[in-house]
A and B are shown apart, each in its own frame.
Chain A
Amino acid sequence: MMNYEPGAAPTAPTAHPSPDAPPPPTSAIAARDLTVVRGTRTVLRALDFTVPSGSITGLLGPSGCGKTTLMRAVVGTQAKVTGVLDVLGHPAGDPALRPRIGYVTQAPSVYTDLTVRQNLDYFAAVLHPGRAHRDARREAVTRAIDDVDLTTRADALAGALSGGQRSRVSLAVALLGTPDLLVLDEPTVGLDPVLRRDLWNLFHRLAGRGTTILISSHVMDEAERCHRLLLMRDGRILAEDTPDALRHRTGTATVEEAFLHLVDTDRADTDRPGDRATDEDPTEEHPTGKTAAPLTTEEAPR
């Protein structure tokens, strides 16, 4: 899966492929007219997007905009999904995809009354059952613990760990099966800067080996580390591009500013009475160049 030297952590972020590099030809995820309804609410509205293989795609947007629902749809745990959603060449949720996708939920989903190693042992046994795979399993477990830098805490109960450590156990579980697609729901929340950098280095190493990573965040500075971005708001995708292209297109200096610019443009386009409650301050406040080229979001306003 990855040759990660434990001592290599404190180096500067490894030179990851330029975000401008042309995306690989195939797409790991392709959505057309993807719509999800939860209860009476339409959480995702007719999304069209692709996630190129072997790339790190950041899914950014304010909380409640539908990031988690989109990820659950990709993983195949979300009910009431309509439209087309192909993942690694199969329809999302296809049983053939289960061993090929690693999914890390926002809340760490591990057994708090087991140790770190016991958690990983169990999930490894679910992935590769049987006595024949015992050595391979042990190796995968050790490597996954090492990857998330928890070797010294391997025999501690997951419940005794800090929140950040526990979410790294959850991440380690997802790394076990050497998945082709990693879906990570805010994996770096609550981590200190050093750990965050180490994890991003790990993500880039994984992507370098061909793993596709879909990662959500609401921390915009992490966006700069992604190859591509999907900017979401209110169940729709505002933009789908590389960080550089987004900044360039909006004439802004950072992805955060680009996002704000897009939101404002979007509001101006779609503002209508009864729009959702997140519009607490409807006054125009374009942080930078209002003169930027008008944006065409790929979706017709509803």
Chain B
Amino acid sequence: MTATAGRVLRQLTHDPRTIALLVIVPVLLITLLRYVFDGAPGTFDATGASLLGIFPLITMFLVTSIATLRERTTGTLERLLALPLGKGGLIAGYALAFGAVAVVQSALATAVSVWLLGLDVVGSPWLLLLVALLDALLGTALGLFVSAFAASEFQAVQFMPAVIFPQLLLCGLFTPREAMHPVLEAISNVLPMSYAVDGMNQVLQHPDITGDFVRDISVVAGSALLVLCVGAITLRRRTP
């Protein structure tokens, strides 16, 4: 597991541009958002906190789906699965590596938001970081899962709008979920990103850990774990 995590990170170190993009883009976007809502700081607080949860999810989704797709198409996955390596170990290795990247990414974005951009958080910024990390794991899990259904990088990238955008629209970022059509609200209740955003908002508004917050992060963590397990099933030792 640690061997795989180390290998994934080592691959990243040979690709400094990707590291720069992973770390800097969220910071730039959150800064952009701050000045988009220049006249409405309250809106920036709500949207900014939600986005701090959404960035890691989206970037880790993209990075993982492409990375595992590459692993499938270059034959290294087949080679690994012909070795005495557990599927769980491989997936955990990926989750560990990208989780570490997500920690760096989220820490920087959160720090800049709270200290430089004046994001008004009532709760602890550490909790923001925790939610962001869980979101990243969810993104890793979803990316791993969809890579099984993509035959090329083109298809893998197209899964982003297919899997992420509906959740983005329904997660309560644009309008409170209670205000949606009841059918959509019901759908949003079963999409994990809704809980990621809710969790961020709990930290934003409450000084302490609330029951809702615990429920939110449990749902996000549970979904991530579930999707990771389903992702493990898509790794087949025998292929047609």
Contact = CB atoms under 8 A, between A and B. Distances in A.
Given A77-B78, A110-B76, A99 B11 contact: no
Contact of A39 (B15, B82, B240): B240
Interface in B216-240: 236-240
A123 interface: yes
A107 B3 contact: no
Contacts of A107: 74-75
A75 B80 CA distance: 12
B7 A114 contact: yes
A98 B75 CA distance: 16
Interface stretch (A124-132, A202-210, A276-284): A124-132
B51 to A, nearest CB: 30
B81 A122 contact: no
B79 A173 contact: yes
A126 B8 CA distance: 13
Contact of B14 (A110, A114, A123, A177): A114
Contacts of A112: 74
B3 A101 contact: no
Contact of A109 (B11, B78, B85, B238): B78
A109 B73 CA distance: 9
A126 B80 contact: yes
B240 A109 contact: no
Contacts of B238: 76-79, 93
Interface in A85-117: 93, 95, 98-99, 101, 103, 105, 107-114
Interface residues of A, number: 33
Interface in A43-80: 75-80
Nearest to A38: B240
Contact of A114 (B11, B82, B83, B237): B11
A195 interface: no
Contacts of B7: 111, 114, 118, 122
B84 interface: yes
Contacts of B74: 107, 109-112
Interface string A120-159: 0011011101000000000000000000000000000100
B239 A75 contact: no
B236 to A, nearest CB: 8
A88 to B, nearest CB: 14
A180 B5 CA distance: 29
A126 B3 contact: yes
Nearest to B3: A125
A292 B150 CA distance: 53
A129 B82 contact: no
Contacts of B84: 95, 98-99, 126-127
Given A109-B74, A111-B11, A122-B3, A76 B82 contact: yes
B240 A79 contact: yes
Given A113-B14, A114-B10, A77 B82 contact: yes
A76 B82 CA distance: 7
A124 to B, nearest CB: 9
Contact of A113 (B11, B79, B80, B237): B11
A112 B239 CA distance: 23
A76 B83 CA distance: 11
B237 A109 contact: no
A173 B79 CA distance: 10
27 contacts: A38-B240, A75-B82, A76-B237, A76-B238, A77-B81, A77-B82, A77-B237, A77-B238, A77-B239, A93-B237, A98-B82, A98-B84, A107-B75, A109-B74, A109-B76, A111-B7, A113-B11, A113-B15, A114-B7, A118-B10, A122-B7, A122-B10, A123-B83, A125-B3, A126-B4, A129-B3, A177-B83
Given A109-B79, A157-B14, 9 more contacts: A79-B238, A79-B239, A80-B240, A105-B79, A108-B75, A109-B78, A114-B11, A118-B10, A122-B7
Interface of A: 38-39, 75-80, 93, 95, 98-99, 101, 103, 105, 107-114, 118, 122-123, 125-127, 129, 157, 173, 177
Task: For the complex of A and B, list the 4 residue pairs with the smallest distance between their C-beta atoms, beginning with the closest.
Answer: A109-B75, A125-B3, A79-B238, A122-B7
